[in-house]
Amino acid sequence: MPPARCRGGRIQLVQKVQAVQIVQGAKTVGVMSKRMQKVDCTAHGTQGIGLVCEHVAYAIDRREQVGFFWGDDADSARPDAWCTECERALVALQGASSAEWFKNAGFKIVCAKCWDEAKIICGGFALG
């Protein structure tokens, strides 16, 4: 499996616990473990993971405030997070299945510290 991306650099998955398919469109592009997963981030070293929508992932380095919403997922170091655009799409589902929404959001793997930075940069949250 090719390395995941983190902050524009390459990260290596370093621990697998429970296999989960990574899907892009209708094609499975890899298998990873989300629970207890760790990555080696070029900026922060070995960290736990979080998933962010592609809009948040690209906005981190551009330092853009695209909004920052997160779920209550406890299977990784940080919960899944998404931008305002993806939040609007999620709310529009009105309780329908979010599987297609998740796929369309193009979630990317980031290390826990990159996730924390995204919360501050993209959501305008203060440190603390």
pLDDT at res. 126: 66
Rounded-to-integer distance, Cα 42 and Cα 111, Å: 10
3-state helix, strand, coil in the chain (%, to 5): 30, 35, 40
Q: Is 51 in a helix, a strand, or coil? A: strand
Per-chain mean pLDDT for the chain:
78
Q: Extract the tokens encoding 79.
A: 């919960």
Least confident of 38-42, 57-61, 100-104, 124-128: 124-128
- Over 60: is that where the pLDDT of 8 sits? no
Kindly report the length of the chain: 128
The span from the CA of 102 to the CA of 80, in Å, is 10
Q: Does 92 fall in a domain? A: yes
Residue 61 domain-assigned? yes
Q: How many domains does the chain have?
A: 1
- Which range of residues forms the domain containing residue 115? 4-123
Rounded to 10°, the helix 112-123/54-62 angle is 80
